[in-house]
Chains A and B, each alone.
Chain A
Amino acid sequence: MFPTPVQKASPFIRISYQIMLPVALIVWLFPLIGVALTSVRPASDLAAGNYFGMPSYFAGFENYGAVFRDSLIGQFILNSFKITIPTVIGAVGLSCLSGFALANYQFKANLWIFFIFVAGNFVPAQILMVPVRDLTLRTGLYDSVYGLILFHTAFQAGFCTLFMRNFIKSLPFALIESARVEGVSEWKIFAYVVMPLMRPAIAALSVLIFTFVWNDYFWATVMVQGAHAMPVTAGLYSLNGQWVAAWHLVSAGSIVAALPPVAMFFLMQKHFIAGLTLGATKG
């Protein structure tokens, strides 16, 4: 068997593996651990120069309480949800439809349309910054969650379509043909045959898009100015300005902002991993 399992390797390799693995893990997670520790550190520790040691006492409640009490983070998180959830529904829903069409119907421009969807993924978002900002200003969508929803949906649709098209392409085509011979309409085939089989792909894609959109900072700063539409990523930056040296509070805010995608991943990880490989092995 190749490679030899670590359990059967020579003692030297086995012991170095057991030492190196935790070391690598700690190095990898160091920034996260630092932020997590700082978020429960009392302000006095920071004043005393205790940046990386253990907190002198657990100040989690007061720090996290202060973040929610003294800042707009609650509003920012709500905005993030207001932007992310419609985007996930919109992008995944639309890509189910476009993926179904591209995978199942033979029409002249099929492959070209598919290539355009794929090629869109390779356009760096930054070069679109100025045109998109102008466009939103003119259409009155600047500085609103709707603008962000619309543009996130549009930008994610390319990747989602690629993913869904390949997934549907890997389903046995005879299922669809068989339903056609039985007189089932195309909409019903989509709803009753294809959609149920796409559940793992939908779950995986939803987690992925949720994370992408939740973590977006770039478009949030380009398209939003006011707190009324600001998602939590951009909102955190404004905390930085509000609490210049209050790192413990900024850390607590960061942890709060990072929780939803992590929670989403752990909730859906079974589907997520299954869905990723399902999409990847074929198509």
Chain B
Amino acid sequence: MSTLSFVTHFRQLSISAKTLGLQATLECDSLRVEVCGADRYSELEPEFASFDPRGPREFSHEMLPESRVFTGWRPAPKKSCEVSLDKKAFTAFCARHGVRTPRTYAHASEVTTNVLVKQVRPGTRGVVRGPFAPGRIPAACLQTDGVFIQEFVPGHMLQAWYWDGQLFAVEVRNRPFIVGDGVSSIRELITCNSLRSDWIDWTAAQDAVWFQGETLDTVPPSGKELAVDIRFYSALQPGGSDNVLKTVVGSPVHEQLLRAGPIFRDAIAAQIRTHTQFVLGAIIDSQQQLWFTDMVTDLRIHPDGYDLMLRGLFGIPAPSPVTAVPLEGMPAAAALT
């Protein structure tokens, strides 16, 4: 299922409305949806975007000639908070609430682990450089204003989606990689495995390959896998990610995600908090510990969130989330650290 497909959003909103006994009609000109209940109605605004592998961009409520993906129907304007805009604010928030997050370094000279160099305020198209071993951070990376150094945690990449603090979707990805064929260089393998060659971030690829002691011109032996990017969105990633929430229920990962929801919901100002979706990014390490790396508010709507959205709008109680057993004798936040 693609979360950027109009068909997917249409189907999920249609199913959610029908399940909750609501009537939904789509107006052809504007693609606004009117949802009617017994005693109230709500209008949902559509949102479109152009697309590159780092995700949707150039959002618009109108279908523009360059619109290629659909980023969902929303009942209210997008919202933001400092924790979602600023990596240092995010890190400080995590520290205050005992949420596990990769350590940061104030100066390159203090670095004792593998690290990434990130922008403090990345916007929707932030640049991440690395990973770099201690002492191998290119000076040019640090000469840019507004960057900070964060420990690189190996593992799977995770995005967790919440509506009003309630977890409803989890997407997990491996780092993008290529497989050697004994003939082609890493550069060629990246090119032919990318949907479009002009979408390839060669700096990211070079960093990833260099970290593993290779260059883009290396010809890896047949069958050898090599990570070539570190980001959730990349030209090398296949289409969409599946919602794997059901497969993580009951696991330590699920438990950590459930606890994180209410904590990060409260990062949003109380007066704009309701009817808000946010996404937490994290790395799952080999011990199934989550290392939270970022929070994004309302970037795009996930189609699996319409049930909770409509329940909130029409005052229909949400179903009880599947909860994990709290760890005995340990406060909820502490379990994340």
**A and B are interacting partners:** no
